Structure formats: C-alpha cells, structure tokens
Amino acid sequence: KAVLSSAFLLSETPDPIPTTIKGTIPSWINGSFLRNGPGKFEFGEDRYTHWFDGMAMMHRFHICEGNVTYSSRFLRSDSYVQNSEKNRIVVSEFGTFASPDPCKNIFERFFSRFQIPKATDNAAVNFVKYKGDYYVSTETNYMRRVDPQSLETKEKVDWTQYVAVNSATAHPHYDREGATYNMGNSYGRDGSFYNIIRVPPPEEKEGEEDSAELNGAEVICSIPATEPRKPSYYHSFVMSENYIVFVEQPIKLDLIRFLLYRIMGKSFNQIMVWDPQCDTIFHLVNRHTGKSQVRYYAGPMFTLHQINAFEDNGFLIMDMCCGDDGEFIGDFTLENLRNETGEKMDKFYNSLCRTLPRRYVLPLTVDEDTPLDQNLVTLPNCTATAKQTKPGEVFMTHEELHSDELLQYGGLEFPHINYDKYNGRPYRYFYSCGFGHVFSDSLLKMDVHTKELKVWRYPGLYPSEPVFVASPKATEEDDGVVLSVIITPREDKSTFLLVLDAKTFTELGRAEVPVNIPYGFHGVFNEMG
C-alpha cells in the first residue's frame, strides 16, 4: 500500500531543484534520465480503479559533472485538462469507465452510452523518439510531443493522420540508420490486422520549424489476425537486424464485447480475455521486404517485454520475459494495490503469475526440403527446440534463460540491455527488476551465457526499470552505469536516483530527491539533455 499511497497527494516540480549526492556520480554522465508513469489518481470525488489509469507524470533527472537536479510535470493531455476543468473523471481509461455527465438529462445520459468513446491521450507509458523529437506514448492512436528539457506538453499527434492504424505501442524499435519501427492494429470489414510501421530517419527541418512531423511513415506489412473478431493484445514486439517478429498471444481483445462495453458501463480492460486453449503464434517478417512466410508457434504463454533478438548461423534467437497465465493484467486495480494488511497483499502477490526469461529459436531456412518432426535447432548448448510439424509450420519449445537462483527473487520484468550497441545483435547481459513483491524489490543483472545473476536488493527499497548508459570509452558490453529511481515508501520525501556500476553491479552513488515520486513505468536516457 505504501508504495502507491504518496501518489495520491503528488504535486509537480516544474522548476529543477537540487538533489543531495551520496557517494559519487561519475562526471562523464552528461544528460537527462527521463521517466514516465501514472501520477494522479483522483479528480474531485472520482478515483481511478486501475493503476494504469493515473494521469501521466513526467520526471527528469538532469545529470551534469557529478551533480543532479530533478523536475517533474503532469502531461497536459486533453484527458488531464478536461478532468481538471470538470473536477471529475470525464475520459475513460484502461480500467476506469467515465460515467455520463450528471448535468445532462436522463435521455442524454442514456444515449451517450451508445456513442463510441474517444481514445485517451493520457500518454503515461513511455518516452519515445520519432525523427529526432521526443514524445510520450501510451497504446492508443494518440501521442504527445514534449520538450525533453522543460517537460512542456506540446501538440497531440494522431497516428491515423499518417498511417491506417487505430493504435500503436509505446515500445518502438530503432535501427542504426535512424528509422523507427512500431506496430499498430487496424480494424475494418476485412477483419483485424497487426501492422508493422516504419517512420524514416529525421531530415533537416526547413527553418528549424518546431512541430511534430511523421511524414513518410508507412505500413510495411499487415498481418491478418488469426481470429478476426478477437485480435491479440500486445505491448511490444521483437526486432533483429533483418527481421521483425510479432508474437500473437492468447490474450484476446473481444471486439463484440468492445462494442457493447460502453453500453454496459464496462472499462476497456474487461474486454481482454485470456484463452489458454490457443497456441502462441510467432509471425516472422523480413523488415527489408515486408514478406512473411513460415508460421512458427508454441504453447500458450504471454509476454509484455522482449529482451533482445539476434541472428546466428541460420537461426533467429529471441529472448523474452514470459508467463503462463495472462489473466493478471486486469488484476492491478488500486483496490488490490492498496490492501490494508500485509496478509492481503501477500495473498494478492501469491496469486500473480511469475514472469521469467525464456529463449525461443526460430530456424530461418525452412523450405520444402526441411524434414518433418525433427529438431531443427543445432546451436551448441541450446535446449530450445523447433520441429516442422507440417509444411510451412514449425512448433517450438523454449529454453529457460535462468537458473533456479532467480526464483528466490520472484521472477523478473522491465528488461533493459545496452540497446544502442547490442540490440538485434549477439549480446551477453541484460538488467531488470526482480519481483519478490507486488512491486519490484530488487535489481538484477543476468549473464545469458552462464545464467548467473548479480543482485542489488535492500529491504524497504523499491526500484524502477533499470536503464543502461554506456561510458564514453566503453570497450566491453557492460562498460557503463545502470540508472534506477528507488521508491522509499517507509520514509517520506526520500526517493533517490541510484547509479550502479554496470560491470560489478555495486553502488557508485545516489541523488536524493526532497519530494515524493510515484512508482512509474518506463524511461530513457537522453544524452542531448
């Protein structure tokens, strides 16, 4: 309960304030650590019911010459502004249905339930980058451009004005030429499609015009949903140097229920259905040609975040955080997260599915000469399998990418790698949060070659997603630091930015912030900042 309780009384800190440094912040770190997540859960007498619904709050830790300042702002989304003006919740979110305006008469209120609700622009999930500009993003068709220095909210951007999609993820990928890739759904008479989007690299802006610009965005591949009226929910996707893999998992969006949910007064999370009778399908797409041929599949599982993917001797190796029960997403209601007793919180935690790192291996050379019912994975020291069950279809089993040691830390999530140098390439290390509690209570460094862990954990401290920052003269993959915001619910106004040596996973220093900061979602390091 304490991890979230301070979030109900938060105020923003628009002007940078100094922090108290303990230990040493390396002088070579020069930039801004940007974080995003829910920060306001009440308007007047109304409260959101789900953790994902809180109004977006952006945070900036500016690091320069061993010093750190902190600032924060609420995103001035249309949702935030309209809720503030009415002093009640007027825009529906993922887990909260906005009731009809009480000022309308009974007939107006009744008929308003038959109107398709507008998607929210409460972009509380991540900071993303397109054509050199920063945006904050959620999983609707709207993003908001923001100033990464002042955290000022700029214009709202609608994906539908650039490409034919109804939504886009908050986890794009970036190639080494500066292009950005993302995925978004589209719905129409022909069914539901998962669309791979490419936004070209930035160009020189004429007269340095300060405006959002996604011109040149294009859909490079449309994948039809296996069940047209029940497309899969997805939070992210996989990209290697030559391929994109979309994981069609058994968490389904029931479109019929979606059409009825407003009439019934139901929130969006209630149209999500976990269907363990369905297999998990891996759609492999060549990102240069947009072609998709072989169908790969595995048993039912869910994944929110991928770790990395790379090609090796005719195989695509995919590492992901996976679980076996996709019912859990709707469980993160504020009622569950604010349980009054430790016993109730423990009961809730024990009901949750653990997410663990897994490796899947996709053979890339499957053709008419490939034998049936024979393990095609010939990589040394790899226990993942892939068998062609019939022409053009390959069934896979995974390798557990961890030892039993991980289980004492409760599984892991929010993985991060040395993205700039190793995304889409063979790699050795990833960093993540360990979940021995409903909220993460440790930071982990995993060696995927040996499956050995390094751990940072202290009672009463709750870390956020770790972000790796490479040192300027790095010669090895883990030369650099790991940044994480640590929530301290047992002590008021003592949240701090933690800086770990990425190689040894020991603390170098921390920057203590004299304000309360909520537990958030995702962040990025902006070297320009």
**How far is CA 267 from each of CA 112, 121, 247, rounded to the nearest angstrom?**
15, 16, 25
CA atoms within 13 A on the CB side of 247: 28
Contacts of residue 454, defined as CB under 8 A and 6 or more positions apart, other chains included, come to 444, 445, 504, 505
Which residues are annotated as part of the binding site?
171, 235, 305, 522
Q: Report the pLDDT value the prediction gives residue 489, as an integer from 0 to 100.
A: 81
Residue 59 CB coordination number (10 Å): 27
- Taking the alpha carbons at both ends of the chain, their separation in whole angstroms is 34
**Phi and psi of 469, rounded to 5°?**
-130, 120
* Cβ atoms of 394 and 384 closer than 8 Å: no
Q: Please give the Cα distance from 27 to 468 (Å, whole number).
A: 16
Q: Please give the Cα distance from 307 to 430 (Å, whole number).
A: 7
**Phi and psi of 292, rounded to 5°?**
-135, 125
Residue 454 CB coordination number (10 Å): 18
Q: Report the pLDDT value the prediction gives residue 52, as an integer from 0 to 100.
A: 79
* Environment class of 526 (CB within 10 Å of its CB; exposed 0-12, middle 13-18, buried 19+): middle
380 three-class SS: coil
Which residues are annotated as part of the binding site for Fe cation?
171, 235, 305, 522
Q: What is the CA radius of gyration of the chain?
A: 23
CA atoms within 13 A on the CB side of 2: 14
Contacts of residue 475, defined as CB under 8 A and 6 or more positions apart, other chains included, come to none
Show the beta-strand stretches assigned E in 346-406: 356-363, 385-390, 393-397, 399-400
432 three-class SS: strand
Sign of CA dihedral 383, 389, 391, 392: negative
Q: Please give the Cα distance from 369 to 449 (Å, whole number).
A: 32
pLDDT digits (tens, 9 = 90+) for 112-139: 444 455 788 899 999 999 999 999 999 8
Residue 150 tokens read as: 């002042």
105 three-class SS: coil
| Grouped pLDDT means (10 residues each) for the chain, 529 residues | 53 96 97 94 83 89 97 95 89 67 48 56 94 94 96 96 93 96 91 95 71 91 93 94 96 77 60 90 93 90 96 97 78 54 68 89 94 96 96 96 95 96 98 90 97 96 97 97 93 91 98 93 87
Contacts of residue 244, defined as CB under 8 A and 6 or more positions apart, other chains included, come to 173, 181, 196, 221, 237, 238, 284, 285, 287
Q: Report the pLDDT value the prediction gives residue 111, as an integer from 0 to 100.
A: 43
| DSSP-assigned letters across all residues of 70-83 | EEEEE---HHHHHH
Q: Report the pLDDT value the prediction gives residue 329, as an integer from 0 to 100.
A: 59
Sign of CA dihedral 148, 154, 156, 161: negative
Show the beta-strand stretches assigned E in 240-314: 243-248, 251-253, 272-274, 280-286, 292-298, 302-312
pLDDT digits (tens, 9 = 90+) for 304-345: 999 999 999 999 999 999 999 877 655 555 455 555 556 776
The model carries a pTM of 0.90
Residue 434 tokens read as: 């360990």
The residue whose two tokens read 């009384």 is: 9
What letter would DSSP give residue 135?
A: E
Q: Report the pLDDT value the prediction gives residue 190, as an integer from 0 to 100.
A: 85
Residue 80 tokens read as: 């935030």
> Which amino acid is residue 208, in one-letter code?
E
Could you give the maximum distance between any two Cα atoms of the chain, in Å? Answer: 70
